[in-house]
Amino acid sequence: MVPYPSRALHAFKVGRPLLDEGQGALRLVLSRERQRLGIPLEIQPGQQIGICAHIDGHLGQHHRHRALGLDLAGHFQGGLQHSAVIYHLFNQADALGLLGGKVEQPGSGDLIRDMGRIKDLWFSIENRNKMNVSLNLKDPKGKELLWQLIEDADVLIENFRPGVFTKLGFTWEEIHKRNPRLIYNAVSGYGRTGPYSSKPGFDRMGLAMGGFLEVTGYPDTPPCKPGLSVSDFYTAMFGCIAVMFALYDRDVNGSGEGQMIDSTLCESALRIQESIIAEYSIDGAIRTRIGNGTTVTVPAGHFKTSDGKYLAVSVAGDKLYRVCMEKIGRPDLLADPRYQTPSDRSIHHEEINAEFGKWAAAHTISECLAILGDSIPNGKIYNVADIVADPHYAFREDIVEMDTEQFGKIKVQNVAPKMLGTPGQIRWLGGKVGRFNEEVYGGLLGLSDQELQDLQDSGVI
């Protein structure tokens, strides 16, 4: 049995195949006020648990703010949107105190289980601390179970294509009617309104329309997608911040009301475009790809060393430029009248980067790091082997080893950021489909053993 606190924030995430439009993911944070605080309890089959209606502090505080997360989306692409956003969004909360949950389609499970080089591995990482249960939202009984969760929820986050969740009967109007305090974050590629609202969206689409890809890569090559899901992660972070603000408005400002949040992949990518929009509005300049350098810090880029490694460098301002040129033995680049100010160096960034690149190519990565030292921002570009072996990561316990049923002991990223007062932890990695059906449906919703068996036999769970 999983111990529950008597006062806790309970979070549920949902994702599963839905209708013909695709699949989805949503997340609920359940709550019900309890008179007694801070006393852990064991959930037994058929027993109701108390859940608080607000948050006193950080979710990671031991016992007092532990929460249950439940993911009710069976397939990875939510309504042809990207439910990776939901995974990332609530990985933060799960690691910092939630007892996370994942609800999948009975039997087949989530599509992410079949993604990647090793079956089930990505699922295991992105669903850590989540209690794996199964639920079929095509079945009326499955919908009713979801409504029971929503009616006690603080936060609901879903990742269906706009309109799919509504067709199932879960409209904002009905949700708000049943639970006026609930905060509902709808995540999609392009938003719930506008001419593109019905288009399917994935991480790459958000980066494309948000302008991110246009400035990523080299001038003579196609736009380059980053190696990770950048738009998904930023949408998750912005969404998490919005949810926290909404909770603050409801509980601290005292509005007492929930609200709806419309999060999109393309707008998250758009927001991080620095001054690109303003520059265009002033003189019509269209910023595009310039490779690994920038026009803000010079020299800057990724420079190949004599032993085939890559050195990352970013030098800003007159002081650091002077130190850098002295370190690499190039006083002539200090005296050159073309390079006297940051604006001058921005204009001539390609020339300066080329000269720095010649210096790096004549030295090994270890020599470069030793010569540059700690005076200017520089470092080796790490691969995963470098990360796992690095003493700084080891000292800060950023990589931890976890036991799994399927893979044995594996190494994974630890909780970030580190909070001294309420540190989080990884309790388990994502498990098999329906692993926690008894704890969630029996312990949380109070269903009997016979009711659970009937739901399983009928394909509801």
Question: Could you report the per-residue pLDDT of 401-411, keeping only the tens digit for each?
Answer: 999 989 999 99
Q: Are residues 203 and 331 in the same domain?
A: no
Compute the average pLDDT of residues 432-450: 90
- Where are the strands (E) in 381-429, listed by range? 399-404, 408-413
- The first and second tokens of residue 198, run together, are 């019905």
The pLDDT value given to residue 34: 31
Q: Are residues 104 and 250 in the same domain?
A: yes
Tell me if residue 152 is catalytic: no
The pLDDT value given to residue 109: 87
Q: Are residues 335 and 190 in the same domain?
A: no
CATH number at residue 169: 3.40.50.10540
Number of domains in the chain: 2
Query: Which of 336, 366, 385 finishes a domain?
Result: 385
Q: Are residues 263 and 305 in the same domain?
A: no
Does any domain span residue 237? Answer: yes
Helix (H, G, I), strand (E, B) or coil at 389: helix
Q: How many CA atoms lie within 13 Å of 451's alpha carbon, on the beta-carbon side?
A: 14
| Helix or strand holding residue 118 (H, E) | none
Q: Are residues 138 and 86 in the same domain?
A: yes
Confidence of residue 190 (pLDDT cuts 50, 70, 90): very high
Query: Which of 359, 385, 411 finishes a domain?
Result: 385
**Above 60 in pLDDT, residue 91?**
no
**Above 90 in pLDDT, residue 35?**
no
Does any domain span residue 391? Answer: no
Selection from 110, 97, 100 nearest residue 12 by Cα:
100
Helix (H, G, I), strand (E, B) or coil at 131: strand
Q: Are residues 263 and 317 in the same domain?
A: no
**Digit-coded pLDDT (tens) for 374-421:** 999 999 999 999 999 999 999 999 999 999 989 999 999 999 889 898
Q: Are residues 41 and 92 in the same domain?
A: yes
Of 110, 120, 232, 454, the active-site residue reads 232
Ranges 68-82, 102-116, 122-136, 440-454, most confident: 440-454
* Average pLDDT value for the chain: 80
Q: Are residues 214 and 326 in the same domain?
A: no
Confidence of residue 92 (pLDDT cuts 50, 70, 90): low
Confidence of residue 294 (pLDDT cuts 50, 70, 90): confident
Q: How far apart, in whole angstroms, are the C-alpha atoms of residue 169 and residue 408?
A: 42
The pLDDT value given to residue 240: 86
The pLDDT value given to residue 318: 95
Q: How far apart, in whole angstroms, are the C-alpha atoms of residue 335 and residue 341?
A: 11
**Above 80 in pLDDT, residue 22?**
no
Answer for the pair 350, 293: CB distance below 8 angstroms, yes or no: yes
The pLDDT value given to residue 227: 92
The pLDDT value given to residue 149: 81
User: Which residues make Cβ contacts (< 8 Å) with residue 330, sequence separation at least 6?
Assistant: 355, 359
Q: Are residues 87 and 219 in the same domain?
A: yes
Q: Are residues 218 and 104 in the same domain?
A: yes
Helix (H, G, I), strand (E, B) or coil at 123: helix
Does any domain span residue 208? Answer: yes
The pLDDT value given to residue 159: 83
Answer for the pair 427, 129: CB distance below 8 angstroms, yes or no: yes
Please give the residue that has the higher pLDDT: either 83 or 199.
Answer: 199
Q: How far apart, in whole angstroms, are the C-alpha atoms of residue 332 and residue 335?
A: 5
Q: How far apart, in whole angstroms, are the C-alpha atoms of residue 370 and residue 440?
A: 55
**Digit-coded pLDDT (tens) for 142-167:** 999 889 888 877 888 888 888 888 99
CATH number at residue 310: 3.30.1540.10
Q: Which amino acid, 425? A: Q
The pLDDT value given to residue 440: 84
How would you classify the pairing of strands 130-134 and 98-104? Answer: parallel
**Digit-coded pLDDT (tens) for 208-241:** 999 999 999 999 999 999 998 899 989 989 998 9
Confidence of residue 129 (pLDDT cuts 50, 70, 90): confident
What's the domain range around 310?
Answer: 300-385
Does any domain span residue 80? Answer: yes
Beta pairing partners, 362: none
| Eight-class DSSP state of 158 | E
Does any domain span residue 413? Answer: no
Compute the average pLDDT of residues 346-375: 96
**Above 70 in pLDDT, residue 48?**
no
Q: Are residues 307 and 249 in the same domain?
A: no
Confidence of residue 50 (pLDDT cuts 50, 70, 90): very low
Selection from 88, 143, 113 nearest residue 265 by Cα:
88
Does any domain span residue 426? Answer: yes
Does any domain span residue 277? Answer: no
The pLDDT value given to residue 65: 30
Regarding pTM above 0.85, the answer is no
Q: Are residues 18 and 150 in the same domain?
A: yes
Query: Which of 327, 359, 385 finishes a domain?
Result: 385
The pLDDT value given to residue 296: 87
Distances (CA, A) of 73 to 12, 13, 31, 78, 347: 10, 7, 21, 7, 50
Answer for the pair 359, 330: CB distance below 8 angstroms, yes or no: yes
Does any domain span residue 281? Answer: no
